């Protein structure tokens, strides 16, 4: 499965591609009038009423390398990994075009979800002024706010298409989960570990007044949590940690990985335990115990979601590929000679039309700007919560 589609199945977050105004069929077949001083962008593929340019393709190749480096692929494997993924670059771009187009054909509406998502990003970054938020987005992504918003919208739209047309139709019976568990019990031996959520309240002024304000806020949050308010929502709305957008959730920790003073507070506590504020170097920390697993054989209930994911992936991958192949069969596709779609549908012609038929082979960069955007940097957009905060939690900082 492609990098794009792996991300689609994970949950974030959100994965698709947006394109501004599309050319009408008449515009697509008309010759392009180019001023002598205009810079020409070559079209390498036509996908229904949309296009893919060489510039987009080259940007995708650069993004592949950047993603692999960000994933810390070993140096001795890097070049081979880059070359392997580059083979699928055009396929991925075509996949994305087709999914977005299908979402629009199905009249999928994600406007409400989009508004809430953008508002959450703005709130988490504590940017009250809309103009300042738009400037922040431009600086973070190198994209205009309008393009960024449209890209996120199409990510959501694409995710909905995948869910309704493919993943939502995959059913894994409980009996299959139980059989997998019984056949692979040795793979589910667990070390003792604890599952925690955190709220971090920073001392923003770094002085005594700041400490007093932070302590008061932390104690108030502890009291609210102990009275029954949902800890994930308290974390989302009040925590200064990067885990706020994830409800304060941090990865499970084995004994010895927590700071000794924090481990002493939380270890062997019952589920739902909320600590008093713990003073750290620059903040107060509140910790809630979600779960604690003892060492030994994990119960089926503990690993059921993991088992479902293991069973699901081998089913999902060929099905999403089949679905995208079917979209290709029903699409108008032309691919310039020298470029290869490794996801091409069998016996489906994608031959490039004769230039004499007046289908444009090139386009001005001004027209590209009106139709397509630099989307491939979104994977590195610093959405809060993508990295977990570890001040005071882990022993290795």
In the chain, which ranges are E strands?
Answer: 40-47, 50-53, 189-190, 193-202, 253-254, 278-279, 283-293, 296-297, 333-335, 362-364
Structural domain of residue 125, as residue ranges?
Answer: 3-168+310-380
Where a domain ends, among 294, 327, 349? 294
Give the distance between the most distant pair of CA atoms in the chain. Answer: 77
Place of tokens 């580059």: 86
Residue 126: predicted pLDDT: 82
Q: Supply 394's token pair.
A: 């882990």
pTM for this structure?
0.66
Query: What is the Cα–Cα distance from 264 to 284, expressed in whole angstroms?
Result: 17
Residue 96 lies in a domain: yes
In a domain, 183, yes or no: no
Q: What is the phi-psi region of residue 235: left when phi exceeds 0, alpha when psi lies from -120 to 50, beta otherwise?
A: alpha
pLDDT digits (tens, 9 = 90+) for 31-73: 333 344 445 789 999 999 899 999 999 989 998 988 898 888 8
CB atoms within 10 A of CB 142: 12
Q: Do the domain assignments include residue 178?
A: no
In terms of C-beta distances under 8 Å and separation of at least 24 residues, what long-range contacts does 113-122 make, across chains too? 113/156, 114/149, 114/152, 114/153, 114/156, 117/14, 117/152, 117/156, 118/149, 118/152, 120/245, 121/383, 121/384
Residues 45 and 164 in one domain: yes
Q: Are residues 156 and 15 in the same domain?
A: yes
Find, among 45, 44, 51, 55, the residue nearest to 22 by Cα: 51
- Considering the domain architecture, whether residues 321 and 369 belong to the same structural domain is answered as yes
The count of structural domains within the chain is 2
Q: Which residue, 270, 294, 318, sits at the end of a domain?
A: 294
* Angle, helices 89-105/145-165, rounded to nearest 10 degrees: 80
- Indicate if 274 and 374 belong to the same structural domain: no
| Domain edge (last residue) among 265, 294, 323 | 294
**How many CB atoms lie under 10 A from the CB of residue 199?**
31
CA atoms of 253 and 197, how far apart (whole Å): 11
CB 176 within 8 A of CB 304: no
| Together in a domain, 155 and 23 | yes
pLDDT tens series, the chain, 397 aa: 343 343 333 333 333 222 223 333 333 333 333 344 445 789 999 999 899 999 999 989 998 988 898 888 898 999 999 999 999 999 999 999 999 999 999 999 999 999 999 998 888 788 999 999 999 999 988 889 998 999 899 889 999 999 999 999 999 999 999 999 999 999 999 888 999 999 999 998 889 999 999 999 999 999 999 999 999 999 998 999 989 888 999 999 998 899 999 999 999 999 999 999 999 999 999 999 999 888 899 889 889 999 999 999 999 999 999 999 999 999 999 999 999 999 999 999 999 985 544 445 566 656 655 554 444 444 444 333 333 344 556 554 4
Instruction: Order the strands of the 253-254 sheet from edge to edge.
Output: 253-254, 193-202, 283-293, 278-279
Asked if residue 41 and residue 158 are part of one domain, the reply reads yes
In this structure, are 13 and 113 located in the same domain? yes
In a domain, 45, yes or no: yes
What CATH number is associated with residue 53? 1.10.4030.10
Q: State the pLDDT at residue 7.
A: 36
Rounded CA-CA distance 238/245 in Å is 10
Give residue 365's pLDDT: 54
**Domain for residue 301, yes or no?**
no
Q: Which of 55, 310, 273 lies closest to 181 in space, CA to CA?
A: 310
Residues 74 and 126 grouped into a single domain: yes
Task: Note whether 30 and 157 are same-domain residues.
Answer: yes
What's 141-182 look like in SS3? HCCCHHHHHHHHHHHHHHHHHHHHHCHHHCCCCHHHHHHHHH
Q: Is 342 helix (H, G, I), strand (E, B) or coil?
A: coil
Run of H or E including 82 = helix 75-86
| pLDDT for residue 142 | 83
Residue 175 lies in a domain: no
Are residue 138 and residue 33 in the same domain, yes or no?
yes
CATH code: domain of residue 233: 3.10.50.40
Domain shared by 376 and 248, yes or no:
no
The answer on 222 and 131 residing in a single domain is no
């Amino acid at each position: 499965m492609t990098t794009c589609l792996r991300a689609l199945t994970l949950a974030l977050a959100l994965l698709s591609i947006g394109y501004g105004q599309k050319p009408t069929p008449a515009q697509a077949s008309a010759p392009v009038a180019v001023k002598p001083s205009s810079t020409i962008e070559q079209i390498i593929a036509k996908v229904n009423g949309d296009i893919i340019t060489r510039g987009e393709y080259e940007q995708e190749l650069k993004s592949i390398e950047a993603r692999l480096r960000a994933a810390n692929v070993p140096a001795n494997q890097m070049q081979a990994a880059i070359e392997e993924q580059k083979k699928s670059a055009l396929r991925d771009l075509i996949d994305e075009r087709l999914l977005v187009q299908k979402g629009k054909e199905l009249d999928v509406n994600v406007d409400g979800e989009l508004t809430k998502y953008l508002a959450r990003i703005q709130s988490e970054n504590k940017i009250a002024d809309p103009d300042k938020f738009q400037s922040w987005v431009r600086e973070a992504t190198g994209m205009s706010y309008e393009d960024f918003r449209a890209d996120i919208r199409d990510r959501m739209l694409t995710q909905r298409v995948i869910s309704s047309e493919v993943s939502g139709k995959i059913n894994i019976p409980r009996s299959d989960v139980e059989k997998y568990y019984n056949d692979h019990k040795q793979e589910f031996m667990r070390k003792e570990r604890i599952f925690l959520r955190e709220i971090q309240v920073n001392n923003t002024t770094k002085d005594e007044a700041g400490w007093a304000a932070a302590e008061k806020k932390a104690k108030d949050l502890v009291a609210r949590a102990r009275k029954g308010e949902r800890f994930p929502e308290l974390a989302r709305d009040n925590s200064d940690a990067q885990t706020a957008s994830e409800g304060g959730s941090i990865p499970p920790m084995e004994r010895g990985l927590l700071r000794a003073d924090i481990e002493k507070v939380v270890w062997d506590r019952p589920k739902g335990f909320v600590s008093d504020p713990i003073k750290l170097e620059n903040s107060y920390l509140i910790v809630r115990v979600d779960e604690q697993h003892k060492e030994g054989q994990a119960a089926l209930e503990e690993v059921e979601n993991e088992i479902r994911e293991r069973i699901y992936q081998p089913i999902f991958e060929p099905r999403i590929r089949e679905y995208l192949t079917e979209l290709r069969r029903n699409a108008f596709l032309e691919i310039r000679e020298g470029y290869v779609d490794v996801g091409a549908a069998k016996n489906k012609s994608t031959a490039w039309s004769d230039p004499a038929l007046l289908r444009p082979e090139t386009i001005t960069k001004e027209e590209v700007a009106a139709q397509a955007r630099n989307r491939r940097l979104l994977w590195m957009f610093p959405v809060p919560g993508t990295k977990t905060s570890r001040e005071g939690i882990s022993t290795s900082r």
